[in-house]
Structure 1
Amino acid sequence: MLALDPNSFFRANKQFIIAKRAIEGITIWFDNRLLVSLDTETPESLYVSKNRASEFRQWVAS
């Protein structure tokens, strides 16, 4: 089984695992969700839920 480094990758939701180096921008969205912009195009908008937003912010800051 392949394991990803939790310092470099974050599971944003059921569809996306994000690499820290791929993040271009983060926007606070409705209901405290976060809209994440990546350096690659995605088929749909990438949101981090309000339940995981705090954990995501800590991960980005580390």
Structure 2
Amino acid sequence: MKSIRRGLWDGEVGKDTRGRFACRICRESLVVGSEEGDGTERSCPECDRSWKSTAPRWRTTGG
């Protein structure tokens, strides 16, 4: 499974007019699947491809 960033780079994933992720092959918005501790899986309902988006890692400054 590719990351969502890699899908954007390869041209498989794009953003629609509202800023949501969309499959460029089927022109369908991606559906959020399972949410894990380290990220979210997004998939296309039409062609069943899936991409993984990682959650942002927050840094603490300590103190």
Output the TM-score relative to the length of structure 1. 0.40
More strand by share: 2
More helix by share: 1
Between Structure 1 and Structure 2, whose CA radius of gyration is higher? 2
